[in-house]
Amino acid sequence: MSSSPTAAEKGGRSEYGVALLLLGLGAWAIVDALGVTDTASRGPVNARTVPIAVGLLLILMAVLLTVDLVRGGRGEAEGGEDVDLSHGSDWRTIGLLVGSFAANALLIDSLGWPISGAILFFGTTYALGARHYVRMALISIVLSVGSWYLFFLGLGIKLPVGLLKGIL
């Protein structure tokens, strides 16, 4: 196993959350499907069939996964070139990343991509541990303004300009 014992132990209980998620998704699929009225289709298969089948599959897997977990089964966390599984998930980094991402989603329409994209890049590099603030700021601005022009001139897609309207 690639994960350390501490990570595996911690993962043990949270894996029941996966079963719960599957159960919830399965129930949602079935409840939603029951609300669909399909008068156009004939025969045993209509718009409800596939969602109900998928819902049943998900619920069945939730049950089997629970059995597997009780018997001691564990999901293997994914490895990779830059992945070190000997320490647990770094939630501070994740929080900062999600924060930067959300900032971009909230600000893109008002401030425009050249600014919100720069905030996104600066924030994510900071979250990932870079501390050369001048270099980070320069790269952020070059990337966000550059990608705005690339999309506008190269692909004809107009990303929001926001505050910089008239300047770019």
Partner 1 sequence: MDGINALIDGFGTALTPINLLYAVIGVVLGTAIGVLPGIGPAMTIALLLPLTFTLEPTQAFIMFAGIYYGGMYGGSTTSILLNTPGESASVITAIEGNLMAKKGRGAAALATAAIGSFIAGTIGTLALALVAPQIVKLAIQLGSPDYFAIMMLAFIAVTTVLGSSKIRGLASLGIGLLIGTVGIDPTSGQQRLTLGIPQLADGIDVVVVAVGLFAVGEALWIAAHLRRNPAEIIHVDGARMNREDWRRSWKPWLRGTLIGFPFGAIPAGGAEIPTFLSYAMEKKLTKHPEEFGHGAIEGVAGPEATNNASAAGGLVPLLTLGIPTTATAAVMLGAFQSYGIQPGPRLLDEQADLVWGLIASLFIGNVILLALNLPLATIWARLLNIPRPYLYAGILFFASIGAYAANTSTFDLWLLLIIGGLGFFMRRFGLPVVPAIIAIILGPVAEEQLRRALQISDGELSGLVNTPFSKVVYVIVVLLLVVPVVIDRVQSRRRGGDQGDQGDGIQDAPSLGHQHANQEGQ
Question: Which 1-60 residues touch partner 1, going by CB under 8 A?
Answer: 1-2, 11, 14-15, 18, 21-22, 25-26, 28-29, 32-33, 36-38, 40-47, 50-51, 54-55, 57-58
* DSSP structure class, residue 89: -
Are the C-beta atoms of residues 47 and 41 closer than 8 Å to each other? yes
Closest contact distance (angstroms) between CB of 83 and partner 1 is: 5
Question: d(Cα 43, Cα 84) in Å, to the nearest integer?
Answer: 53
Question: d(Cα 130, Cα 123) in Å, to the nearest integer?
Answer: 10
Closest contact distance (angstroms) between CB of 152 and partner 1 is: 11
- Regarding 65 and contact with partner 1 (CB under 8 A), the answer is yes
Size of the site for partner 1 (CB under 8 A): 90
CB atoms within 10 A of CB 31: 12
Question: d(Cα 159, Cα 147) in Å, to the nearest integer?
Answer: 9
Closest contact distance (angstroms) between CB of 86 and partner 1 is: 9
Interacting residue with partner 1 among 8, 61, 137, 161 (CB under 8 A): 61
Interacting residue with partner 1 among 85, 137, 161, 163 (CB under 8 A): 85
Burial of residue 72 (CB within 10 Å: 0-12, 13-18, 19+) is exposed
- Regarding 134 and contact with partner 1 (CB under 8 A), the answer is no
Question: d(Cα 148, Cα 142) in Å, to the nearest integer?
Answer: 10
Interacting residue with partner 1 among 6, 79, 133, 149 (CB under 8 A): 79
- Regarding 111 and contact with partner 1 (CB under 8 A), the answer is no
Question: d(Cα 28, Cα 55) in Å, to the nearest integer?
Answer: 7
Q: Which residue has the tokens 């719960």?
A: 20
- Regarding 71 and contact with partner 1 (CB under 8 A), the answer is yes
- Regarding 77 and contact with partner 1 (CB under 8 A), the answer is yes
Interacting residue with partner 1 among 5, 13, 72, 165 (CB under 8 A): 72
